[in-house]
Amino acid sequence: MNTFRGHSFASVAAIAMALMFSAASAASLHAAQEAKSPDTPAGNAENGKRVFTQKGCYQCHGREGQGSTMTGPRIAPDPVPLEVLSAYLRKPTGEMPPYSAKILSDRELADIYAFLQSRPHPPAAKDIPLLK
């Protein structure tokens, strides 16, 4: 069997393909984020924070949606458009479990979206005294 540092070529190829698709997904999400819809329904950020915690979103994405390289991507501030987020939540392609409308209603999703939009941007490095 052909190996590369103890890994089969098939596993190395699978990892390479996953990285390519990951980069393509990030590019398409970024493009979608640039085209935010002005008619995105308003939600209740306070209730969104409660639902975000209740449904366990914080376990992977952090309490502020900041994400982690070990658990889940950053989803706030500046989340992708609601339509993109909704489509991914309903039929995810990664390790995230699906959240059908029975588990997370459209109203709850709009509230979570409002919560994610309400998260402040982190301070610039130049504004952090310890980094000066």
Predicted confidence (pLDDT) per residue in 12-35, tens digit: 444 544 444 444 444 444 444 444
Residue 39 has pLDDT above 80, yes or no: no
**Torsions phi, psi of 37, nearest 5?**
-80, 130
74 pLDDT band, cuts 50/70/90, is: very high
Query: Which pLDDT score is estimated for 97?
Result: 94
**Torsions phi, psi of 8, nearest 5?**
-70, 155
5 versus 90: the higher-pLDDT residue is 90
For 38-131, CATH gives 1.10.760.10
Query: Which pLDDT score is estimated for 21?
Result: 45
Contact present, 24 and 18 (Cβ < 8 Å): no
5 pLDDT band, cuts 50/70/90, is: low
33 versus 108: the higher-pLDDT residue is 108
Specify the pTM.
0.67
- Which letter does DSSP use for residue 89 in this model? H
Q: How many Cβ atoms sit within 10 Å of the Cβ of residue 113?
A: 25
Q: Domain ranges for the chain, please list them.
A: 1-35, 38-131
Rounded to whole angstroms, the Cα distance separating 70 from 112 reads 22
As a whole number, mean pLDDT of residues 111-119 equals: 98
Scan for tokens 């915690």, then name that residue: 53
Averaged confidence pLDDT in the chain: 81
Rounded to whole angstroms, the Cα distance separating 54 from 46 reads 13
Query: Which pLDDT score is estimated for 31?
Result: 46
